[in-house]
Copies of this chain bind each other. A is one copy, B any other.
Amino acid sequence: MTKHRAILAILLLSGGAAAHAQMAPREVPAHTVPVPDTVSPDSQKLIAAPYNPVWTVAPTTAEAWHQLVDPMAAEAAKALPALREKLRVGSEPVTIDGVKAFMITPIDLPPANRNRLLVHVHGGAYVLFPGESGTREAIALAGIGRFRVLSIDYRMPPDFPYPAAMDDAMTVWRAALKMAKPSQLGIFGTSTGGGMTLAMVLRAKQEGMKLPGAIAPGTPWSDMTKTGDSYYSNAMLDNVLVAYEGFLDASAKVYANGHDLKDPQLSPIYGDLHGFPPTILTSGTRDLFLSNTVRVHRKLRQAGVEAVLQVYEGMSHAAYNRDPFAPENREVFEEIARFFDKHLAK
Cβ A331 vs Cβ B35 within 8 A: no
Known contacts A8-B29, A31-B11; A36 and B313 CB within 8 A of each other? no
Chain B CB within 8 A of A111 CB: no
| Chain multiplicity (copies) | 2
Which residues of B sit under 8 angstroms from A297, Cβ to Cβ?
Answer: 310-311
- Do the beta carbons of B38 and A229 come within 8 Å of each other? yes
Contact across chains for B29 and A35 when beta carbons are under 8 A apart: no
A301 at the interface (CB under 8 A from B): yes
Q: Which residues of B contact A291 (CB under 8 A)?
A: 36, 38, 285, 313-314
Chain A contacts with B in 190-238, Cβ cutoff 8 A: 227-230, 232-237
Count A interface residues, CB 8 Å: 60
Contact A28 B26 (CB under 8 A): no
* Interface check A295, CB cutoff 8 A: yes
Within 8 Å by CB of A12, from B16, B23, B32, B314, lies B32
Q: How far is the CA of A36 from the CA of B295 in the complex (A)?
A: 12
When A44-B23, A229-B285, A237-B233 are in contact, do A15 and B34 touch as well, CB less than 8 Å? Answer: yes
Across the interface, do B33 and A25 meet the contact criterion of CB distance under 8 Å?
Answer: yes
Residues of B within 8 A of A331 (CB): 298, 302
* Cβ–Cβ contact B285 & A294, under 8 A: yes
Question: Contact check: which of B12, B36, B239, B285 meets A31 at CB < 8 Å?
Answer: B12
Residues of B within 8 A of A27 (CB): 30, 32
| Overall SS of chain A's interface | mixed
Q: State the Cβ distance, A268 to closest chain B Cβ, in Å.
A: 14
CB <8 Å contact, B23 and A32: no
Confirm or deny: A37 has a beta carbon within 8 angstroms of a beta carbon on chain B.
yes
Query: In the complex, which of the residues B28, B38, B48 contacts A33, with contact meaning CB atoms closer than 8 Å?
Result: B28
Those of A220-273 within 8 Å (CB) of chain B? 227-230, 232-237, 239
- Please give, as numbers and ranges, the residues of chain B lying within 8 Å of A117 by CB-CB distance: none
Contact A33 B20 (CB under 8 A): no
Q: How far is the CA of A29 from the CA of B237 in the complex (A)?
A: 9
Check if B311 sits within 8 Å of A232, measured CB to CB. Answer: no
Q: How far is the CA of A2 from the CA of B42 in the complex (A)?
A: 41
Are B34 and A17 closer than 8 Å at their CB atoms? yes
A309 and B312 within 8 A (CB): no
Assembled-state Cα–Cα distance A158/B291 (Å): 40
**Do B32 and A229 touch across chains, with their CB atoms under 8 A apart?**
no
For residue A229, which residues in chain B have a CB less than 8 angstroms away from its CB? 33, 36, 38, 285-286, 313-314
A295 touches B310 (CB 8 A): no
Q: Report the Cα distance A30→B236, complex, angstroms.
A: 10
Question: How far, in whole Å, are A24 and B68 apart by their CA atoms in the complex?
Answer: 28
What is the distance, in angstroms, from A245's C-beta to the closest C-beta of chain B? 12
User: Smallest Cβ distance from A143 to chain B, in angstroms?
Assistant: 21
Is A1 close to B, CB under 8 A? Answer: no
- Interface residues in chain A, defined as those with a beta carbon under 8 Å from any beta carbon in chain B: 8, 11-12, 15-17, 19-20, 23-38, 44-45, 47-48, 50, 227-230, 232-237, 239, 285-286, 290-291, 294-295, 297-298, 301-302, 308-314, 328, 331, 335
Q: List 9 A-B contacts (CB under 8 A).
A: A8-B29, A12-B32, A16-B34, A25-B33, A25-B35, A27-B32, A33-B229, A38-B229, A297-B310
